[in-house]
């Protein structure tokens, strides 16, 4: 199995409702997110790629236009915008364009990651 990945960055705010009032994530706050999309294939194309990294440009555009410097609760229309749910949202978005999409990872801090991999 061949596997590639590409990393993207954006900054945004969110708020996790339903947590205890004294929980820091219950307050409006923001992160410098890192998104890693992974694609895999058992075969390579005629050039020797799973997919040309340049073809992933639409994900950068989506992140820049729809997520960067936005309030994610408003963008995604949900009271619970966790890293786990964002990973699933971006996985579904990518899978619809690139069938080779195998996983999406999201980092909110340098030491934390959430992944969606069906």
Cα distances (Å, whole numbers) of residue 115 to 32, 36, 46, 84: 17, 9, 30, 6
Q: What average pLDDT does this structure show over 5-23?
A: 94
Contact 34, 7 (CB under 8 A): yes
pLDDT at position 78 is: 79
How many Å apart are CA 50 and CA 29, to the nearest integer?
A: 37
Least Cα distance to 26 among 34, 38, 15 occurs for: 15
pLDDT for position 18 = 86
Three-state SS letters, 6-63: EEEEEEEEECCCCCCCCCHHHCCEEEEEEEEEEEEECCCCCCCCCCCHHHHHHHHHHH
Identify the pLDDT of residue 44: 97
User: What's the mean pLDDT when you consider all of the chain?
Assistant: 96
57, two tokens:
């440009």
Which domains, ranges and CATH numbers included, belong to the chain?
A: 2-116 (3.30.479.10)
Q: What is the pLDDT of residues 37-95, one digit of tens each?
A: 999 999 999 999 999 999 999 999 999 999 999 999 999 987 889 999 999 999 999 99
Active site residues: 25, 69, 108
- pLDDT tier for residue 109 given thresholds of 50, 70 and 90: very high
């Amino acid at each position: 199995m061949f596997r590639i990945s590409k990393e993207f960055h954006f900054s945004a705010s969110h708020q996790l409702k339903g947590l205890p009032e004294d929980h820091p994530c219950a307050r409006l706050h923001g992160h410098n997110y890192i998104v890693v999309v992974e694609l895999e294939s058992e075969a390579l194309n005629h050039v020797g790629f799973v997919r040309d990294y340049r073809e992933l440009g639409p994900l950068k555009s989506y992140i820049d236009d729809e997520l960067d410097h936005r309030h994610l609760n408003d963008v995604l229309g949900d009271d619970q915008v966790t890293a786990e749910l964002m990973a699933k949202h971006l996985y579904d978005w990518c899978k619809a364009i690139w069938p080779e999409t195998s996983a999406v990872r999201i980092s909110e801090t340098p030491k934390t990651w959430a992944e969606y991999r069906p």
